[in-house]
Structure 1
């Protein structure tokens, strides 16, 4: 029986145990209960939340010294914990040094998780928030192609695990579905200087030159993956489910934006934005949805809600069943 591997990656401000990450435990439990015994599932919850701890501690030692103004500031606990963890995780990944450490940590976990995978097995990606940015950046961004930078070898090793991606597009496990939760991936459209507004400012650039300039642009490699997968004899549209909670300010829709980034994408990928069902209490706040009140009261809760959502689990199970039937 083929195995369905489910690769999870978390977002910012997740401090967990590397040996046994628990951030996806509830969602995995829902999936297992819903799918029954007819499928061989192997969840792989990736963890990178502890890579930045030393850098954060170094920052606090420099700003919270006795002779500074730190003691005069309000909300010190919020600054030091929630805000630093949220913004620090994002900023540090973009940096070369810490970003390469995260790539290395993920390489080890992905290779270990997929070490028993065979050609007939299937892979499902489930990403949350900034984890979407990290995984898509590693898989598709041109900045990791530079052989002289730290993290290059690890990024290439991760790409080798995926069928359809260079440097070895004929190797690796077949990607059969994508699930993005609270995803900021729409922001990548601002990095697309080939098809975006920046092309008008630099009309002299060829498409190849533009792609080389945009080191964080994911669209060329995404286009390559889709093209390679579509050439398979048993190819079907790749289901991509994008989950959004109405009160989550980080979540952005992808349909039809994502189709505008890559020519022909609509032929090979089926994007579906899925809005979370509101609880009774949340529905009471709907008349105030255009004010800041719901975001202040429920924004954080809404942002984390996907990881304990039966609705999300049901959709993941549905795609597992559909892609297995097509195989």
Structure 2
């Protein structure tokens, strides 16, 4: 049995599935069932250039502060850390995936990883895909979306 994991938004750590894999191993061991083979697909590094966006925001705030010294720029853009985390890690990931070039790159990485996992285990006939959050959207797109061109990596998946 093969188990292929697909992560969701704000995942920047390749060990994201380790705890679930441990729980599955423990449960299978208790039931004395053959342990599955795991692969944690990872594409979070495709979503790594949000720093440019926040550099631009900070430059705009500095320019605003210079032009308006009587106004506290920090008060204008309150809760910066929360906004930065929320937009960058959650909303930013979703918008990044929806960008056609980035979406293709993500689907290509997943297709390559899945193909490699299957080809390295040719005797396994059972495949389970476990996805979460944005990973589920990517999987849905790959399996059921008709909006992609025939050369899109979704068709390899």
Equivalent residue runs for 1:130-169 within 5 Å: 130-147=134-151, 152=152, 154-158=153-157
1:48 pairs with one of 43, 51, 57: 43
Equivalent residue runs for 1:119-134 within 5 Å: 121-134=125-138
In 2: Cα distance, 1:49 partner to 1:94 partner: 14
2:103 pairs with one of 96, 99, 105: 99
| 1:24 is the counterpart of 2:20 | no
| 1:13 is the counterpart of 2:7 | no
Moved over 6 A (4+): none
The residue number in structure 2 matching 1:58 is: 52
In 1: Cα distance, 2:9 partner to 2:111 partner: 19
Q: Which has the higher contact order (CA 8 A, sep 6+)?
A: 2
The residue number in structure 2 matching 1:234 is: none
Q: CA deviation at 1:9?
A: 0.9
Task: Report if aligned partners of 2:141, 2:154 keep a CA contact under 8 Å in 1.
Answer: no
Q: CA deviation at 1:43?
A: 0.9
Structure with bigger helix share is 2
1:67 pairs with one of 59, 63, 68: 63
Secondary structure in 2 aligned to 1:64? helix
**Structure 1, gaps ≥5 residues long:** 159-327
In 2: Cα distance, 1:118 partner to 1:63 partner: 50
Question: CA RMSD, aligned part only?
Answer: 1.9
Q: TM-score, normalised by structure 1?
A: 0.41
**Structure 2, gaps ≥5 residues long:** 66-72
Q: CA deviation at 1:68?
A: 4.1
Q: CA deviation at 1:40?
A: 4.1
Secondary structure in 1 aligned to 2:11? coil
The residue number in structure 1 matching 2:33 is: 38
Q: TM-score, normalised by structure 2?
A: 0.82
Change over 3 Å in CA distance of 1:76–1:8 after alignment to 2: same
Q: CA deviation at 1:52?
A: 1.2
In 1: Cα distance, 2:86 partner to 2:33 partner: 41
In 2: Cα distance, 1:123 partner to 1:87 partner: 30
Q: CA deviation at 1:119?
A: 6.4
Q: Deviations over 1:36-59 (max 9, x none)?
A: 2531411111111121112x1222
1:118 pairs with one of 116, 122, 129: 122
Equivalent residue runs for 1:310-325 within 5 Å: none
In 1: Cα distance, 2:89 partner to 2:53 partner: 12
Equivalent residue runs for 1:201-212 within 5 Å: none
Task: Report if aligned partners of 2:10, 2:90 keep a CA contact under 8 Å in 1.
Answer: yes
